[in-house]
Structure 1
Amino acid sequence: MGTMASPKRRVAILGSTGSIGTQALQVIAAHPDRFEVVALAGGSNAALLDEQVAATGAGLVGIADVGAAAGLRAALSAASERGTLTAGEPEILTGEQAAVQIAAESGADVVLNAMTGSIGLRPTLAALRSGATLALANKESLVVGGALVAQAVQRPGQIIPVDSEHSALAQALSSGRHERGLCAVPAEGEDRLSGASEVSSLVVTASGGPFRGWDPAALAEVTPAQALKHPNYSMGRVVTTNSATMVNKALEVIEAHLLFDIDLSDIQTVVHPQQWIHSMVQFRDGSTIAQAGHPRMLIPIALGLSWPERLEQIDAPIDWTQAMQWDFEPLDEQAFPAVALAKQACAASPTHMAVYNAANEQAVQAFHAGGLSFPGILATVQAVLESYQAASSSAVPTLDDVLGAERWARAAAEEHIAAAKVQVRA
């Protein structure tokens, strides 16, 4: 007798029009027997959302930009009249709550949160509370609301990391036993031993960004156009700028700390310009297990959707018959203080990272508007953190506490930016 085919996983994608979302849809399209897209949510790209609905048959679609909603409705209505929507015209939700409602009510087995920024926190909490598996690419929601996210988790393994570094860590951790954190990995065949771990440390790799090796003084002349030239990945403006300042790596270090319950002092950042090794785990016997692959996101996205199974032919394997060289070097913390600053913030209080992230988002916006120098981004974050006093001493802040800290940080950052009065060349 043949084995029964696994039922299709029902998938909702938040941030479907972004880089991670569009690649996830490519993976799903290549495996139509494994997945069914039930809901999509995007920001303002109504034309692309229209195409995605036609391609997937999603019955529920959300668009955050209320102004773009009319165009989406018109496009979908016209497509329905033409008969190109095989599943019929979907229900349309609008505004910032659209993604939250989809996460909570779509009935998806897997919710992929591929949104950018802390706006993804509410959808992350909604997805977890719905009982769905959360494929998490929105690192900010975990970083700013770590205690809230941990509290919302209903079962071990409910969060599957999609960032390439954390997917790599999860894969490498399966080589040993680590039964702590939101992504606990028990060794096969072992009884669960509360808190047991064979892990010594985590090594998070970084490309070093476009300014690797630059003298700190030269960074004052960096332009927005230069900051958007990432050496390996094509990403949105905020994430690409964060990669240039190393803020993105700082957020990933905090995310690894929260996901895997590893002390911040035991998480290293190593610059690996080629980005073939996505991250590594060092075990207490001295072994280091690394996960390697092309510097692309297809494998971690696919694993986020299919975990713990691996899908076939997601990406080309490394050709080990070809000569290649991989370099590793320490992070220059003088030029790029983002990681050290984030570790200090995370240790200070449960809401300090919300302040860090919000101040950074405002500073990045100001940098691209020409009102702040490149080094001024981290200088703003540091100044805001130094003036912040947490309103609550609770180990688990409320959502209002987190959002209040964010609002305060954005206002404080704007005051600092206005006082700086820097004009940056385009």
Structure 2
Amino acid sequence: MLSAAASGVTGSRSVGSEAVPRASLAPISPRVAGIAESATLKVDAKAKALKAAGRPVVSYAAGEPDFDSPAHVVEAAEQAARDPRNHHYTAAAGLPELREAIAEKTRHDSGLEVAPSAVIVTNGGKQAVYEAVQTLVGEGDEVLIPSPYWVTYPEVVKLAGGVPVAVFAGADQDYRVSVEQLEAARTPRTKAIIFVSPSNPTGSVYSPDETRAIGEWSLEHGVWVISDEIYQNLVYDGVRAVSIVEAVPELAEQTVLVNGVAKTYAMTGWRVGWLVGPAAVVKGAGDLQSHLSSNVSNVAQRAAIAALTGPTEPIEAMRQAFDRRRKAIVSGLNAIPGFRTPTPEGAFYVYPDVTELLGREWGGVTPATTLELADLLLDRCEVAVVPGEAFGPSGYLRFSYALGDDALAEGVARLAEFFRA
């Protein structure tokens, strides 16, 4: 039997009658200590706690559809749960049938022909982002992140030992960065860019020409692209979110696509996402996942197969409901003095510029930041929103309109009344 020292395990040991404490009982690792809690989940949890306490909070915080998962998806899961084949470990990279369905979706929606072997099924889109970054980014590598950005991107870059570099575009640019801005931020240490269209938190969609320009710039300078396409099917006004690998096919060998069923199919709790990429990246990410989590729940994978291959009518009905709510919230917020809300073309968020509201007294309080403003709105209006500090600079608020029509209208009415006072 190996001793503790020989096995590499350290712990308390007895010396006479005294115990020597383990040296490892120190603070947690610097990398974990250096990451921030998800601001969107934090605000949503606070709103839910207040609701549970009986307060009539209207929450625009969570990026989660209020719809139930489609009936055919639930039925597929029920059948899968009764099938003993799904009661055991399966391949870490995903069920073959699901990888085939993802490859077909990638061909249809992203314009990229890929083999099922180029797909890894992950525990949600968040894990796909994590694995893509961990596989590509090394110590000191810089990753350009267009800002406003989803809260998770900079944190996973830091966990990989990389350096997140925010490139900000405000409401005057419809929150879309230019090639000129990216080039100004590029250094010899730039390894990758995280490209997101449609965007969380802004709902902005890059035009085909803008997407092509960024793709060609990335190709020219050897910059890897991590393209988050989780919202690609939630677009409005006849807009299409063109994948960067469709705009620049030659870029496929230095691009990782991440996606999932959470948003389009109202399946946030099922935790099924995926990444698609070149062979070396997929091999590395697959090795990582084999140690990190092994296979995704087989029942959830069977449900995802049904989502990707089943009827599209429930999906279109949800998209139309989001479109109706999008128009209502943009109109409602823009009618309130101090809100400047660009009309988003995708996802289910609006991101108003509210800098005019800062430094002014509202209900006896003078908020200097949108962090303070969001706290004020939750306290006085019982309306939960996520402050711009979670996504980049202060001066903005994120509203998710993936909530019921009545709740959406009630929240806007409360804000209108508060800022009219």
Sort the TM-score into its range (normalised by shorter chain).
under 0.3
Q: TM-score, normalised by structure 1?
A: 0.25
Which has more radius of gyration?
Answer: 2
Q: TM-score, normalised by structure 2?
A: 0.25
Higher RCO, Cα 8 Å, sep 6+: 2
